[in-house]
Amino acid sequence: MAHEEGNLNSFASILGNDIAIKAYREGRLPFPDGAIIAALHYRFIPSAENNKAFGRDQSCVAGAPTNVQFMVKDSKKYAATGGWGFGHFNSDGKTVDDAFMKTCFPCHQKMKERDLVFTRYSP
């Protein structure tokens, strides 16, 4: 899970396929080929109904879905971008252009010591 503030203001649930989760659990880096990590992004919104029940403003929950992003590990196919292929699917069905997709790798590359993966494993 992750919450990004600022203009993103997003709430993310991050999932992995069996290969990715196994690597996470074993602390194996780099991730092996075949690993897939998915990030389900939603708006990060206050919950008026929860706050009413709790008697104070404390609760933030997932709002409308915004997009789903994927990282797919294939060290040969995606050699030019650190072995990872990046995918982005807007929840409204609109596609994103190449310029948008070219922003994935430069940012993820900053997390080189963890094989470009921002999300840590939550046991």
By CB under 8 A, name the binding residues for a copy of itself.
1-6, 8, 11, 13, 40, 42, 44, 47, 49-50, 52-54, 56-62, 65, 107, 110-111, 118-120, 122-123
Query: Three-state SS for 21?
Result: helix
Least distance in angstroms from the C-beta of 22 to a copy of itself: 19
Map tokens 């196919």 to a residue: 77
CA separation for the pair 19, 35 (Å, rounded): 5
Least distance in angstroms from the C-beta of 59 to a copy of itself: 6
Least distance in angstroms from the C-beta of 116 to a copy of itself: 10
User: What is the torsion angle, in degrees rounded to the nearest 10, for the CA atoms of residue 34, residue 69, residue 123 and residue 32?
Assistant: 20
Least distance in angstroms from the C-beta of 5 to a copy of itself: 4
Cα-Cα end-to-end distance for the chain: 12
For a copy of itself, the closer CB: 56 or 76:
56
Burial (CB < 10 A; 0-12, 13-18, 19+), residue 71, is: buried
For a copy of itself, the closer CB: 33 or 59:
59
The greatest distance separating any two alpha carbons of the chain, rounded to the nearest whole angstrom, comes to 55
For a copy of itself, the closer CB: 102 or 114:
114
Query: Three-state SS for 58?
Result: coil
For a copy of itself, the closer CB: 77 or 120:
120
